[in-house]
Amino acid sequence: MTTHQVDLVVPDLGDFSDVDVIEVLVEPGDEVAIEESLITLETDKASMDVPATHAGKVGSVNVKVGDKVNAGDIILTLETAELHESHATVMLSPEEQQEILTAAAAGPAGQEQTDAGHRAQLVVIGSGPGGYTAAFRAADLGLEVILVERYPVLGGVCLNVGCIPSKALLHAAKVIDDAEAMADHGVKFGRPTIDAPALRDWKNKVVGRLTGGLTQLAKQRKVKVVQGTAKFASPNRLVLDSGDTIDFEYCIIAAGSQSAALTGTPDDPRIVDSTGALELDPIPKRLLVVGGGIIGLELACVYSALGTKVSVVELTDALMPETDPDLVRPLRKIIDKRYESIMLDTKVTGMQATQAGIEVTFEGKNAPENQVYDKVLISIGRRANGDLLDCDKAGVNVEKRGIIPVNKQMQTNVPHIFAIGDLVPGPMLAHKATHEAKVAAEVAAGEKSAFDARTIPSVAYTDPEVAWVGLTETDAKRDGISYDKTKIPWAASGRALALGRDEGFTKLLFDKSTGRVIGGGMVGPNAGDLVAEVGLAIEMGADAADIGLTIHPHPTLSETIAFAAEAFEGTITDLYMPKKR
Ligand SMILES: Cc1cc2nc3c(=O)[nH]c(=O)nc-3n(C[C@H](O)[C@H](O)[C@H](O)COP(=O)(O)OP(=O)(O)OC[C@H]3O[C@@H](n4cnc5c(N)ncnc54)[C@H](O)[C@@H]3O)c2cc1C
């Protein structure tokens, strides 16, 4: 066989020059396939992988991490059996994605497109974590897939205005709070200067990197992306706002949810939902958060760290009402000191936009006199989008508040139409959406699959973080389920003390008859990462001995889970606890 040497070069980078190489993914001797990523480039707007335009064996690699490259620079030399025409690749920035989506809409070879519209084996409505996961999994299983998204950027709420931007800002908040806390331990920093536009840009860069990556992943899988707002025209046809149609054999509805509105709220830019709050524009002196759920408290945490005086008003008698009260208590203790006020059992009865600010009237147990705020964040829950899609034209049932009922295969009452994510019953969480997505895609591709998760973890990324999974004590008491419990204070954890954070605890709940773990939760830094172990324990049917005898690294917060199991077993030595059974 004749081999040729080919230089693989940096493709057209649009307006970009001197672009940073942040990762080199291959080394001499590696065999690479066409489209396999060679290097990752990053600009101030986005990052992208440069794929191989030829298959073959890598000879020399000419770039390294930290290099700056331009279009035409040689990345590596490849020994290849055949010469293919070079593919051009463009840099992806959020602004450029519109262009790419339009180009992608031209569709891969093999997918039929007529003047009247598009046709696919599977169409997915919505490109959030549910939609893109479903589309990619289905394409990997061999289906021809069209992904319809109403916005020019992929990623849905989670990537664009939800999980990811909020966590980027929460990270900034944590750095500020941690730096301040060190003053008590001998390290003093000056007061931070907050450059809101720069912070916003950084958050947008994080988002752009992920959403740009999704566009690339869709391209690599030959998932055809069509921009438009879809509605059903019949059980096998969607119609877009452009008038185009998409005929399909299977459809997965992944159209997500939106912030619930508070009736009677005036239309004023100082009254925002979570999307508006993530813009930090401007950072107010005084903020009222309406709703003491997870999203409201996370954003309260961000603004408080940025110097805003925060008040929270909640209709019920508890913050994060779905969470065990003991898990919320350490958070409450901290924010009681930091926030201007936390008003439980209190309702907002009116809002008026004045020159001085938003004047709010309250009613209830802890209602203050009328107050004027610079900004009001409405965070009273989310509403499913199931009733915005003309589902009746396809015969798909939609329940109250836009929820679409499904079976374990994620099928609606119309078996070739599936629904996943925020618009089906259950918690509105990205990790639930992605798991449901895989099931729907697999069933559509003819595989046997079912959504059979024993548990779905929940996390509030506040400071301290609050996380739980499986049975909660609140649910157990309500449903008359008896259980055993251990609870370990983080004051017993060397790592928690070294972090200066001993306010937390870890608890585990066990089935009384089998001794298996059936629930657990923790509060403290990184609780959201720790809870995954308890989730795995529940899925695997582990008991206290399984966890306690698993060697956990020292000194880590993960030891608190092992301590809780040891406490249940009566083998703990890091604390004195009389044996309970
Ligand atoms: C501020 C905030 C923070 C959050 N933090 C977390 C977190 O830390 N962890 C977590 O698990 N969850 C978090 N969530 C929730 C998480 O974002 C959602 O659970 C998740 O995005 C749901 O995914 P989905 O695919 O069902 O829908 P979505 O992400 O809502 O995506 C739906 C997509 O469908 C598109 N669409 C809707 N209608 C149509 C139509 N007719 N035609 C075409 N396209 C359409 C929308 O534009 C959207 O892109 C957060 C949410 C918010 C608001």
Write out pLDDT tens, residues 488-511: 999 999 999 999 999 999 999 999
Q: Which of 158, 167, 466 to mutate to test the pocket of ligand 1 (most atoms within 8 A of CB)?
A: 158
Residue 169 lies in a domain: no
- Exposure string of 117-127, with b = 16+ CB inside 10 Å and e = fewer, is bbbbbbbbbbb
Q: Can you tell me the distance from the alpha carbon of 85 to that of 203, in angstroms, rounded to the nearest whole number?
A: 38
Q: What is the pLDDT of residue 103?
A: 42
Domain endpoint, select from 80, 95, 125 = 80
Q: Residue 214 Cα, ligand 1 centroid: separation in angstroms?
A: 15
Q: For position 191, what pLDDT does the model report?
A: 92
Give, using CA atoms, the residue closest to atom 38 of ligand 1: 255
Residues 469 and 370 in one domain: no
Note whether 120 and 136 are same-domain residues: yes
CATH number, position 45: 2.40.50.100
Residue 389 within any structural domain of the chain: yes
Same domain, 108 and 255: yes
Q: 270 CA to middle of ligand 1, Å?
A: 24
Least confident of 58-72, 141-155, 163-177, 214-228: 58-72
Asked if residue 109 has pLDDT above 90, the reply is: no
User: Atom of ligand 1 at shortest distance to CA of 155?
Assistant: 49
Peptide bond into 464 cis (omega under 30): yes
Element (H, E) at 165: helix 163-181
How many structural domains is the chain composed of?
4
Same domain, 312 and 368: yes
- Shared domain for 275 and 372, answered yes or no, is yes
Peptide bond into 28 cis (omega under 30): no
Percent of the chain with pLDDT over 70: 92
CB 8 within 8 A of CB 76: yes
Pick the residue with more confidence: 313 or 87?
313
Same-domain pairing of 375 and 406: no
Give pLDDT, residue 54.
79
Residue type, 366: N
Query: Do residue 277 and residue 364 come from a single domain?
Result: yes
Enclosing domain of residue 117: 103-157+199-259+384-444
pLDDT at 314: 98
Q: Catalytic annotation on 552?
A: no
Q: Are residues 348 and 417 in the same domain?
A: no
116 lies in the same domain as 242? yes
For ligand 1, atom 7: residue with the closest CA:
163
121 and 54 part of one domain: no
**CATH code for position 298:** 3.50.50.60
Q: Which of 125, 136, 151, 163 to mutate to test the pocket of ligand 1 (most atoms within 8 A of CB)?
A: 163
CATH number at residue 543: 3.30.390.30
Q: Would you state the pLDDT for residue 425?
A: 98
User: 264 in a domain, yes or no?
Assistant: no
* Residue range 391-437, pLDDT digits in tens: 999 999 999 999 999 999 999 999 999 999 999 999 999 999 999 99
Domain-ending residue, one of 347, 380, 413: 380
Does position 334 have pLDDT exceeding 90, yes or no?
Answer: yes
Q: Are strands 245-253 and 417-419 parallel, antiparallel or unpaired?
A: parallel
Local structure of 248: helix, strand or coil: strand
pLDDT recorded at residue 80: 82
Ligand 1 atom with the shortest distance to the CA of 259? 53
Predicted model pTM:
0.83
The tokens for 95 are 């602004």
Q: Is residue 575 part of a domain?
A: no
Cβ of residue 291 lying under 6 Å from some atom of ligand 1: no
Distance of CA 540 from the midpoint of ligand 1 (Å): 29
Q: What is the pLDDT of residues 124-181, one digit of tens each?
A: 999 999 999 999 999 999 999 999 999 999 999 999 999 999 999 999 999 999 999 9
Is residue 36 pLDDT above 70, yes or no?
yes
pLDDT above 90: residue 90:
no
Pick the range with the lowest mean pLDDT from 3-17, 92-106, 202-216, 399-413: 92-106
| Ligand 1 atom 20 nearest Cα | 430
Rounded CA separation 63/371 (Å): 60
Contacts of 195 by beta carbon, 8 Å cutoff, 6+ apart:
none
Q: Which of 114, 393, 403, 379 is nearest to 246 (CA)?
A: 114
Determine, yes or no, domain membership for 173.
Answer: no
Nearest CA to ligand 1 atom 21: 158
Is residue 16 very low, low, confident or very high in pLDDT (cuts 50, 70, 90)? confident
Whether the Cβ atoms of residue 379 and residue 360 lie closer than 8 Å to each other: no
Q: What is the per-residue pLDDT for 380?
A: 98
Of 327, 352, 380, which closes a domain?
380
Q: How confident is the model at residue 47 (pLDDT cuts 50, 70, 90)?
A: low
Please tell me whether residues 255 and 121 are part of one structural domain.
Answer: yes
Q: What is the pLDDT, as a whole number, of residue 95?
A: 53
pLDDT for 405 equals: 98
Q: How confident is the model at residue 86 (pLDDT cuts 50, 70, 90)?
A: very low
The answer to the question of residue 249 being in a domain is yes
Cα 405 to ligand 1 centre (Å): 18
Compute, in angstroms, the gap from residue 158 CA to the centroid of ligand 1: 5
Same domain, 277 and 254: no
The pLDDT of residue 87 is above 70: no
In a 3-state reduction of DSSP, which class is residue 54? Answer: coil
User: What is the distance in A from the centroid of ligand 1 to the CA of 384?
Assistant: 10
Contact 324, 468 (CB under 8 A): yes
Atom 27 of ligand 1: nearest residue by CA position: 256
Strand partners, 51: 37
Stretch 296-315: mean pLDDT = 98
Q: Is 151 touching ligand 1 by the criterion CB < 6 Å? A: yes
- Asked whether residue 184 is assigned to any structural domain, the reply reads no
pLDDT of 442-479, one tens digit each?
999 999 999 999 999 999 999 999 999 999 999 999 99
| 90 within a domain of the structure (yes/no) | no
